[in-house]
Amino acid sequence: MQALSPLDQASINAIRFLSVDAIQKAKSGHPGLPLGFAPMAYDLFARHLRHSPKNPYWAGRDRFVLSAGHGSALLYSLLHLSGYDLSLDDLKAFRQWGSKTPGHPEYGHTAGVEMTTGPLGQGLSTSVGMAIAQKHLAARFNRPGFPLLDYHIFVVVGDGCMQEGISAEASSLAGHLGLNNLIVLYDDNQITIDGRTRLSFSEDVVQRYEAYGWFCQSLQGDGHDLDGLDQAIAQAKAQNKPALIKIQSIIGFGSPKQDSSGAHGSPLGDGMEATRKALNWPYSPFEVPSEVYEHFSRLQAAWAKEEADWNQLFAAYAQAHPDLAKAFKEAEKNQWDVSLLDQLEFKVGEKIATRQASGHVLAAVMPKSPNFMGGSADLTPSNNTHFPGAEDFNAQEPQGRYLRFGVREHAMGAIINGIGLSKMLKAYGATFLSFSDYLLPSLRVAALSKYPGIFIFTHDSIGLGEDGPTHQPIEQVGYLRALPGLVSFRPADAYETREAWRFALNHQGPVCLALSRQGLPVLDQTKLGSATQGVARGGYILSDRQDFQVLLLATGSEVSLALEAQKRLDQAGTPARVVSLPSVELFEAQEKQYQAQVVPPSCKQRIVIEAGLIRGWEGYIGEQGRFIGMRSFGASAPAADLFQHFGITVEAVVRAAQEMVSA
């Protein structure tokens, strides 16, 4: 290990002290990682990353992901010095209301932050999605002499990320797929919040990653061996596997609390002065020696040159491969041709499960949407996610667009997020709605960060039948509706499914589709309210009656039940309106007037019908309304028996309506 040059040393210390000064000022934050890992992160930025601080979304850039998001101050310091739109004042506003420097990095909030991190494991796993996107795009667009997209994804992870199950799932898949564009720096500092990692974590991480099919290296030098890292990265780039570089840094390096859990998550406080002394840093808070700024200016010039070269390359590429260049630009628009859906017609009255209808949508859309990938967490035949001409994406065939996630729901969620972060591709993934729980943390990050991505959740109720309550969702639709930033649909038939997809394709944020296992009659678009008009508004009048006395609100598979009840109520002389509410979130985002038109506040005799729980529906039900749905977990039996036993029947609706009007 060579000694650090004075300039490297000064730069590293500038990063360290910008970080701990920000934390000190905020009286909150995590100094341990910035102090310990600054040399490695500096090396990455100064000697490896190709990026464009003035054009942060440049398609050709390397990606830097701080999966250990609690070390945000480290990232902000690097972004500031690298010339991103992040001033010294922004650093001084660390963790304050309205600042660009929140406690954990937030995508879309701060230039240069490639993804939202903090919930452990999400960063590494989402990076696997980024790596899949790179591999696919490179296969599609690179040509001899035109390595347009040869970027790498560099990820910094800590012990926490390595312990999370989602990382295990994603890393196993990354090994399987041979994602050699993924280089993970594992900060094995031996300390977690509870104390030494050995309290709970004594596995051989390197051996585990080798078992996944990764190329693993271990660095000496307490996290200060810049040349060693350079060599390790060069080695990693030469492999046909993802790479793990284990680095035993010293948490809180230079501070009185170094190498202890005390260094992890609290400002140094009184230890600030001792740290300045130990690291020989005579500068005042937030002071950066001019030679460091100058050094980074030179780096910025070099980065700008690389981008300019790339632009020249692209211009030549446009000459040599005009169609590809056009397709490239098209992909960058990140738009989907929803007119492909117009051709999809369904036969009225025919029973088609909405999961099947979704399969028809994919059959119509996917062959003509090269920028769209997707798959299933090993439920392809059940989720109806395959499409004509689909080829599996894998190490040998990165041009494939069908994703075999394996039985790894959580990693699937993160990977969908990561693919969407390419801004050139979008992805869908699928599992049973009941198992949406397994990927909820990824869905939450997507909702918070407005990642595009489509989540297909089939078998959306007790309609799943015999597999029983472990597989029957009851609460999940409510969960999805409650998550701000996520739009969920529970379509009533094939047409509503088509229209939900129309919305989903071009929505700039995550969308969920809750789809039925069982066949549902195709509704007559000529006689009933139009799905084409209604679904995008979240809810609409599906079937009306003059002077209706009862309002039936239903979603998904219960909509046709409501229509059946309406007929029976007609016979009984009780006119009822049927409202379909495929997306409660979108409906509630409409202007009040429209909402009142569909669900008039004056009509108190309302029945909500959904084979899920009541929670969330109370506002629609009001004080006089009724709920026909689930009040407990489901059970194992044929679906028809279950609807009967749980009282979700036409008879129950009719009875409730008649009780209400005669009350």
Site for a second copy in 489-518 (CB under 8 A): none
Answer yes or no whether residue 410 interacts with a second copy by CB under 8 A: yes
Query: Among residues 196 and 347, whose Cβ is nearest to a second copy?
Result: 196
**Token pair of 521 as six digits:** 């009659």
Helix (H) or strand (E) holding 247: strand 243-247
Please, how many CA atoms are within 13 Å of residue 231, restricted to the half-sphere of its CB?
10
Among 20, 226, 365, 379, binds a second copy (CB under 8 A): 379
Answer yes or no whether residue 557 interacts with a second copy by CB under 8 A: no
Query: Among residues 173 and 184, whose Cβ is nearest to a second copy?
Result: 173
Answer yes or no whether residue 663 interacts with a second copy by CB under 8 A: no
Among 12, 35, 137, 168, binds a second copy (CB under 8 A): 168
Binding mask 100-119 for a second copy (x = CB under 8 A): --xxx-x---------xxxx
Which segment (7-15, 269-277, 487-495, 617-625) binds a second copy by CB under 8 A?
617-625
Residues 116-135 interacting with a second copy (rule: CB under 8 A): 116-120
Answer yes or no whether residue 582 interacts with a second copy by CB under 8 A: no
Quote the least distance from Cβ 533 to a second copy, whole Å.
27
Residues 8-37 interacting with a second copy (rule: CB under 8 A): 26, 28-29
- C-alpha 601/C-alpha 59 separation (Å) is 50
> Is residue 391 among the annotated active site residues?
no
Among 166, 247, 561, 652, binds a second copy (CB under 8 A): 166
From 169, 409, 496, 558, the catalytic residue? 409
Answer yes or no whether residue 581 interacts with a second copy by CB under 8 A: no
The closest alpha carbon to 160, from 231, 267, 261, belongs to 261
The answer to whether 227 and 219 have CB atoms below 8 angstroms apart is: no
Query: Among residues 116 and 566, whose Cβ is nearest to a second copy?
Result: 116
The closest alpha carbon to 133, from 141, 122, 145, belongs to 141
Quote the least distance from Cβ 589 to a second copy, whole Å.
12
- C-alpha 462/C-alpha 333 separation (Å) is 40
- C-alpha 420/C-alpha 116 separation (Å) is 13
The SS3 assignment for 305 reads helix
Residues 182-241 interacting with a second copy (rule: CB under 8 A): 192-194, 199-208, 210-213
The answer to whether 115 and 329 have CB atoms below 8 angstroms apart is: no
Query: Among residues 328 and 617, whose Cβ is nearest to a second copy?
Result: 617
Answer yes or no whether residue 633 interacts with a second copy by CB under 8 A: yes
Answer yes or no whether residue 479 interacts with a second copy by CB under 8 A: yes
Task: Say which residues have a Cβ less than 8 Å from residue 434's Cβ, sequence separation at least 6.
Answer: 459, 464, 470, 471, 472, 473, 476
Please report where in the chains the tokens 């990764």 appear, as a residue: 214
- C-alpha 414/C-alpha 123 separation (Å) is 8
The SS3 assignment for 396 reads coil
N-to-C CA span, the chain: 86
- Residues 141, 142, 148, 149, CA torsion sign: positive
Among 345, 391, 524, 618, binds a second copy (CB under 8 A): 618
Q: Nearest 5°: phi and psi at 329?
A: -65, -35
Answer yes or no whether residue 160 interacts with a second copy by CB under 8 A: yes
Which segment (314-322, 336-344, 348-356, 608-616) binds a second copy by CB under 8 A?
608-616
Residues annotated as catalytic (active site), given as ranges: 409
